[in-house]
Amino acid sequence: MRAPTAVPAPLGNASASPFEVEVVIEVPRSSFLKRGSNGSIDFVSPLPCPFDYGAVPTHLGLEGDLLDALVLGPRLAFGTRLRVKAWGAVSLMDRGMSDDKLVCSEQPPSAAERRKVLRFFHFYAKCKGLLNLWRRRPGRNACDGWCEATEAFARARPLTGEWTGSPVPY
């Protein structure tokens, strides 16, 4: 495995400025099991995940967990590690904490795929808000929209030393 750089180099298409990241799949597309970065099951969802969902194992997001990433394309098995282009990101707010999600695929996502991703995260933020209300966990829950992948990656920090999991309880 190559050592990560602090800021990834762009790969071609300047308007989308994609770059490659390593992603480990935690939730395969169509799965009902939501696993955390440590592999344990966080919850069983009433709805299947519409994307392959995982994390960048070399970087932490602002909430202290591994930087989230979703991968568009064919279904991938749990634990799959791949290098894939990040074309954008969705900025999510969960309990008042920023939680970026890189949007990755081999090809640039179409306008329809971007709309589908945003629709899902707007819905997800509302559901998460209701769950957090029930759990008595305060804070804003919302999808703040699409941003460049480089912006989300710049907000993340390289993983250094021993990381034992998210400091925030699920």
**Assigned domain for 66 exists:** yes
Over residues 24-64, the pLDDT tens digits come to 999 999 998 887 767 778 777 878 899 999 999 999 998 88
**Assigned domain for 61 exists:** yes
Q: Per-residue pLDDT for 15 more than 60?
A: no
**Assigned domain for 3 exists:** no
Cβ atoms within 10 A of the Cβ of 155, count? 16
Q: What is the CATH number of the domain that holds 31?
A: 3.90.80.10
Q: Per-residue pLDDT for 5 more than 70?
A: no
**Assigned domain for 164 exists:** no
Range of the structural domain that residue 66 is part of = 19-156
**Assigned domain for 62 exists:** yes
71-77, long-range: CB < 8 A, 24+ apart: 71/23, 71/25, 71/104, 71/105, 72/103, 72/104, 72/105, 72/109, 72/113, 72/117, 73/105, 73/106, 75/28, 75/29, 75/30, 76/25, 76/28, 76/29, 76/52, 77/25, 77/28
The pLDDT value given to residue 16: 54
> For the residues 6-33, what does the mean pLDDT come to?
71
**Assigned domain for 169 exists:** no
For residues 34 and 42, give the distance between their C-alpha atoms in angstroms, rounded to a whole number.
6
**Assigned domain for 11 exists:** no
Over residues 94-140, the pLDDT tens digits come to 888 889 999 999 999 999 999 999 999 999 999 888 888 888 988 88
Q: Per-residue pLDDT for 19 more than 80?
A: yes
**Assigned domain for 142 exists:** yes
> For the residues 89-93, what does the mean pLDDT come to?
94
The pLDDT value given to residue 95: 85
Give the chain's domain count. Answer: 1
Q: Per-residue pLDDT for 168 more than 70?
A: no
Q: Per-residue pLDDT for 78 more than 90?
A: yes
Q: Per-residue pLDDT for 4 more than 60?
A: no
